[in-house]
Amino acid sequence: MFVPGLIERKRDGGALTPGEWRDLVGAYHTGAVPDYQMAALLMAVFLRGMTREETAALLDAMVDSGRRLDLGHLGLPVVDKHSTGGVGDKVSLVLAPLAAACGLAVPMMSGRGLGHTGGTLDKLESIPGFRTGLSLDETMAQMAKLGVAMIGQTPEIAPVDKRLYAMRDVTATVECIPLIACSIMSKKLAEGLTGLVLDVKQGSGAFITDAAKSLELAQTMIRLGEDRGCPTVALLTAMDRPLGRACGNALEAEEAIMALRGEGPEDLMEETVAEAVEMVVLGRTNASAHRGTGAPAHGGTDAPTHRRTDVADRAAVEKEVRAALSSGRAAEKFQQMVEAQGGNPAVLEDPSVLPQAKEVEVYCAPRGGTVLRVEPRTIGRAVVEMGGGRTKSDDAVDPTVGFVITARPGQTVHASEPLASIFAKDAAGIALGRRALDLAVEIGDGKAEMLPLIAARVTAGGVEMLG
C-alpha cells in the first residue's frame, strides 16, 4: 500500500476502494501508517467527501478494528443513544440510567469533548472517582448487574475511532458527514445493539449547522445502522442555543442530577423524555419482533413488550418514562452506576462533592429588551478556552469552569438583570467568560427566532415533522 498515492487520489476527488480502506485502517491501527498521513487523508476527505461505498467500507473497518459486545444472554433489548454533539447537552447522563430503569440494557459508549462541544466522558469524570475506562469484561459484568454502563471506547472497541476522533478534534476535520457518521456508528455497532436512537443537532452550535445537511447526516447513519441489522431512529433537535442552563463539565453533571430528580430545565426534561420514549419503543418493538420478551435481569420494570407501537402505546411508554423519573428509580440507577464505576455516590444527594470553581461572577443584562439569541458555539468555545475542553489531544480539562445561563431566547429582560453566572479558575477566565457572553447573548427589540426543540423524527421509512 502506497499511502501518499491514496492521499493524492482522495485529494484530487477520487475514491478509495473498500479493500484500500480496510488495509489503510488496519495499517493505521498497527502503527504502520503514522498520524501525519492519516491527518492529511482526513483533510482530503473533509474537502472532497466520501462515496456511500467508501463510507460503508470505512465504518466496517473501524468496527472490525476491535471486538464487539455481546449482551444477548441478558435477554433484554440492548438500546443506546448517541448525540452528534452540542453545547450544554447532558442528556446522556440522565437518559442512560432512565432507559435502564425502564427495563432496557444500555451499554452507553461515549466520547470526550470535541471541538466546541462537551463530551459525556468529561462530564462523568467530573464526579470524583468516576472511571469511564472500564475494560470490556468489567463492562459486561456491570451490564449483568445493573443493565447500564457509561464508558469510553475501551482499547478493545472501535479503537481506531478513538484515535481518529482525537485527531479530528485538533486538525479541524470534525464537521464532515461521513466522518461523523463512521465515528458514531462504529462505536454503536460494536455494542451489539438491537436498537439505536440518534440525537442529530441542528443550528449554529451543531457540527453540521445546516438543516438539510443534518437530515443528510441522520439519514446516512440510519442507512448504515439498518444495513447492518440495527434498527435506527433519529430525532433532529435544536442546537441554536445551549440545551438547559449549564455549560461546562461539573456544572452539567450537577444539572443532569437535578434532571434525574425531575427538577431539570424544561428543554432538557422534554428532550430527555422524548429520547427515552424512542429508546423504549424501539427496544420493545424490536425485541418482540425478533426475540420474544425477556424478563429484566437487573430489576427494571416488568412492562409488556410490543410488536407494533401505535400512538396509545407511545403515550403509555411516556407515562412509564416519567414515572421512572418521579419515583426516583432513574436516580437510584444513576447512583448505583456511579458507585459501580468508582465514583462518589453521595453526588446524587449532595452535588457539592463535585469540584467547584475558584472564581464565580454574575453576568447582568447590559440593556433591557428581548433576548434574541444565546449563541451556543461562542459559549462552547469559551468553555474550551477557559480550560474546560482541549485544544491539543493530550490536554487535561478543568471540570469546574463554564457557565450557567438562565437567559433564554424570547425572554424579556431588564437592564442589570442577572442573565448568567461565569465559573472560572482565575480572573482572566472570568474576563474571557464575560467577553463570550457579551458576544453570545444578544438583546434587542425584535422577536427571537428559534428552531423547534425537536423538529423531526427520522426513520428508514421517512421524515415526520414534529416542530
Q: Which residues bind ligand URA (CB under 6 A)?
A: 84-85, 111, 114, 165, 180, 183-184
User: What's the rounded Cα separation, in Å, for the pair 82 and 162?
Assistant: 15
Closest distance of CB 85 from ligand URA, Å: 4
Length of the chain: 467
Closest distance of CB 186 from ligand URA, Å: 9
Closest distance of CB 131 from ligand URA, Å: 20
90 catalytic, yes or no? no
Residue 108 vs 347, nearer CB to ligand URA: 108
Q: Annotated catalytic residue: which of 161, 169, 199, 267? A: 161
Burial 84-102 (b: 16+ CB within 10 A, else e): bbbbbbbbbbbbbbbbbbb
Closest distance of CB 176 from ligand URA, Å: 8
Residue 119 vs 147, nearer CB to ligand URA: 119
Beta-ladder partners of 80 = 196
- Residue 150, helix vs strand vs coil: strand
User: What's the rounded Cα separation, in Å, for the pair 53 and 107?
Assistant: 28
Residue 84 vs 378, nearer CB to ligand URA: 84
Residue 85 vs 264, nearer CB to ligand URA: 85
Residue 184 vs 281, nearer CB to ligand URA: 184
User: What's the rounded Cα separation, in Å, for the pair 93 and 199?
Assistant: 14
The H-or-E segment that residue 72 falls in is: none
Q: Annotated catalytic residue: which of 187, 241, 284, 373? A: 187
The closest alpha carbon to 437, from 384, 372, 374, belongs to 374
Q: Order the strands of the 454-459 sheet from edge to edge.
A: 79-83, 195-202, 232-238, 454-459, 462-465
Closest distance of CB 105 from ligand URA, Å: 20
Closest distance of CB 390 from ligand URA, Å: 14
Copy the grid coordinates of residue 184. 458514531
Residue 9 vs 68, nearer CB to ligand URA: 68
187 catalytic, yes or no? yes
Q: Annotated catalytic residue: which of 112, 168, 201, 377? A: 168
Q: Annotated catalytic residue: which of 126, 183, 214, 288? A: 183
Closest distance of CB 107 from ligand URA, Å: 15
Residue 207 vs 403, nearer CB to ligand URA: 207
Q: Cα angle vertex 396, ends 394, 399, to 5°?
A: 150
Closest distance of CB 184 from ligand URA, Å: 5
The closest alpha carbon to 29, from 59, 64, 55, 54, belongs to 64
Burial 377-411 (b: 16+ CB within 10 A, else e): bbbbbbbbbbbbbbeeeeeebbbbbbbbbebbbee
Q: Annotated catalytic residue: which of 10, 81, 82, 284? A: 82
The residue assigned the cell 421517512 is 462
With CB atoms as reference, the residue minimizing the distance to ligand URA is 183
Cα–Cα separations (whole angstroms), residue 266 to 83, 120, 166, 334, 406:
19, 20, 33, 20, 12
User: What's the rounded Cα separation, in Å, for the pair 138 and 126?
Assistant: 21
214 catalytic, yes or no? no
The closest alpha carbon to 13, from 52, 42, 48, belongs to 48
Number of alpha carbons in the 13 Å side-chain half-sphere of residue 28:
29
Number of alpha carbons in the 13 Å side-chain half-sphere of residue 32:
9
Residue 108 vs 456, nearer CB to ligand URA: 108
The closest alpha carbon to 72, from 159, 155, 144, belongs to 144
Q: Are 334 and 150 in contact (CB under 8 A)?
A: no
- Residue 363, helix vs strand vs coil: strand
Closest distance of CB 48 from ligand URA, Å: 18
Residue 170 vs 346, nearer CB to ligand URA: 170
- Residue 441, helix vs strand vs coil: strand
Residues taking part in catalysis: 82, 161, 168, 183, 187
